[in-house]
């Protein structure tokens, strides 16, 4: 009898986990994007590549923006072949370098006449520092997209109605913002263990949600709307540089419980990119193709403004 009870509890727990983290609704929008241009960062693999493919299938001109030239060109070639859309091009973008980000924007603005959607999809979880001395996770997951978005805002306004879509994570709910650490160390937290990096990753995903919250306020009435989201639990290359007991346990769990279909993981990104009528929800957070509430810290106006100000200073924009 005891074993039956234990088995019942485990089955219920699995079903709840599957419902919350694995099972995904599909984007139902029928919108097409002919004549529209979309940038998808980190679109050489995983959910980013699936997102780029889905948008190419809808007729968009898609900019595959990622660090690796070879992998980016290969991804663009794959997407062109699978979609039958020749308007898929690779542009090199290294979010760990502010110089590289500015160079990307300069090239983009010279060669592309439109920008209708910017999808900040790229993210990583690894130790180290960026070229500019920031913690790697902080720099690539938050400061890089912050700078990129701000440098492209004028073009987004010119092409309004347009959108900014920031791929966050449910992990943001476990994050917090330590401004003393940011100001002193240019990092979201100290420590280099896998457990520390996982925590820092969660902090960076909270930054994504707060950035979206503040960006929406600053763009109100300008025709540019923005959304943050949890894409779905898909095994990806996110933690490819992490090893050890902690990460090995997470990887073993993911093999059993987490879906591998990147297109399923891209559905909420597609919803925020395409869904008609969500403009009044600018600045909000989505999961499983629907609006979700967030914890108090993730929608705190003062924290969001302070993060914006610190980010501007670190980018040299202040």
Q: Which residues are catalytic?
A: 201
15 near 7, Cβ under 8 Å?
A: no
SS3 content of the chain, % helix, strand, coil (to 5): 55, 15, 35
169 near 231, Cβ under 8 Å?
A: yes
Give Cβ neighbours of residue 123 (< 8 Å, ≥ 6 apart).
Answer: 42, 140, 141, 167, 169, 201, 204, 205, 238
The CA-to-CA distance between both ends of the chain, in Å, stands at 66
What Cα–Cα distance (Å) separates residue 243 from each residue in 193, 201, 237?
9, 15, 12
Angle at 220 between CA 292 and CA 151, to 5 degrees: 95
Sheet holding 285-287, edge to edge: 88-92, 61-66, 37-41, 117-120, 162-167, 224-230, 285-287, 290-292
Cα(299)–Cα(290) distance, integer angstroms: 17
Question: Nearest 5°: phi and psi at 204?
Answer: -65, -30
What Cα–Cα distance (Å) separates residue 8 from each residue in 3, 4, 5?
8, 6, 5
- The closest alpha carbon to 285, from 233, 227, 206, 244, belongs to 227
Environment class of 7 (CB within 10 Å of its CB; exposed 0-12, middle 13-18, buried 19+): exposed
Beta bridge partners of 227: 165
């Amino acid at each position: 009898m005891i074993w039956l009870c234990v088995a019942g509890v485990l089955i219920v727990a699995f079903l709840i986990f599957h419902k919350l983290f694995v099972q995904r609704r599909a984007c139902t929008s029928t919108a097409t994007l002919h004549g529209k241009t979309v940038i998808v960062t980190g679109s050489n693999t995983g959910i980013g590549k699936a997102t780029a493919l889905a948008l190419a299938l809808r007729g968009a001109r898609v900019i595959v923006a990622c660090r690796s030239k070879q992998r980016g060109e290969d991804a663009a070639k794959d997407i062109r072949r699978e979609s039958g859309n020749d308007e898929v091009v690779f542009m090199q973008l290294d979010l760990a370098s502010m110089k590289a980000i500015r160079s990307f924007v300069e090239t983009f603005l010279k060669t592309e006449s439109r920008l209708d959607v910017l999808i900040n999809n790229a993210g990583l979880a690894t130790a180290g520092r960026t070229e500019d001395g920031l913690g790697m996770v902080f720099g690539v997951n938050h400061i890089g997209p912050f700078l990129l978005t701000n440098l492209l805002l004028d073009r987004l306004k010119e092409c309004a109605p347009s959108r900014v879509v920031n791929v966050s994570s449910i992990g943001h709910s476990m994050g917090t913002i330590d401004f003393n650490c940011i100001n002193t160390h240019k990092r979201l937290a100290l420590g280099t263990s896998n457990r520390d990096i996982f925590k820092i990753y969660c902090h960076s995903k909270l930054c994504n949600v707060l950035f979206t919250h503040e960006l929406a306020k600053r763009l109100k009435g300008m025709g540019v709307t923005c959304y943050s989201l949890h894409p779905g639990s898909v095994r990806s290359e996110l933690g490819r540089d992490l090893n050890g007991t902690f990460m090995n346990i997470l990887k073993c769990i993911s093999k059993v419980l987490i879906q591998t279909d990147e297109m399923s993981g891209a559905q909420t990104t597609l919803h925020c990119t395409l869904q008609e009528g969500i403009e009044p929800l600018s600045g909000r957070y989505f999961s499983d193709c629907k609006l979700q509430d967030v914890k108090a810290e993730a929608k705190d106006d003062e924290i969001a403004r302070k993060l914006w100000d610190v980010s501007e200073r670190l980018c040299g924009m202040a």
